[in-house]
Amino acid sequence: MRASALLVFASVVAAIPQSKGTGGAGTGAVPPAKGGNGANKPGTGAQVSNDLQEKECKDIIFIMARASTEPGNMGGTMGPQICKGLQQAYPDRVACQGVGAPYSAGLMDNVQPKGTTTAAIGEATKMFKLADSKCPKSVIVFGGYSQGTAVMHSAVSALPAPLKTKVLAGVLFGDTRNKQDKGQVPNYPKDQVMIFCDQGDGVCGGALRVTSAHMVYIRNGDGPKAVAFLKGKLDGGLAAGGKGERVRIF
């Protein structure tokens, strides 16, 4: 992806009204949608979630890598939407964990050979391994938006085989690695990942050609579709037991 294309990316992002939120300055964030009482609707606005790092284990762990320039560690768009949807589907059984520093979601990081930085991939990998070591009987699902999809492509594809069996499914929006990796996460079952790529979203074609279609996932109904996909995989899910046996948790 060429640096000149980032100027187009930056112009699209800059055209979006900015908002401040938890854990970030809000540059390039999608503005929070307001409900009838003026409050933020669930799944919009910046958000930080460190359930895996800071709280007790849950049956399901959702790990999210946000889009470029999104604040917090979940971002203010798809991350909170998917987290909220899963928590509604499985009350008190879902821990949501965003990929934070050293993943900065910086705009220029998109031009790296893997579409993000080595440090970002390392931090995502660290979260998967923490889920495995801290919560050995939990199952894992993941999500990524824009640059966050590149983070997940590299992190998930390189996970150790025993850990990879506990990663039941993933959802990716505006996948910047879609063409390069042939519509799938390498070294991971294709049918366990749903990739949302609007036909007008230029990044899905292998170049950093960002159009307004790169933002459609936020409000076009793909969020609920992604939750339904994850739920379908989770309902039949198996988690690894403490000594390698398989234990059904649903």
Is 201 an annotated catalytic residue? Answer: yes
Neighbours of 228 (CB within 10 A): 12
Which is the catalytic residue, given 146, 154, 181, 198?
Answer: 146
Which residues are CB-contacts of 184 (< 8 A; sequence separation ≥ 6)? 190, 193, 195
Is 4 an annotated catalytic residue? Answer: no
Beta strand 94-98 with 139-145: parallel, antiparallel or unpaired?
A: unpaired
Among the listed residues 118, 108, 219, 232, the one whose alpha carbon sits nearest the alpha carbon of residue 173: 219
Write out the DSSP string of 42-107. TT-S----BHHHHS---SEEEEEEPPTT--TTTTTTHHHHHHHHHHHHSTT-EEEEE--TT----G
Is 214 an annotated catalytic residue? Answer: yes
**What is the set of active-site residues?**
146, 201, 214
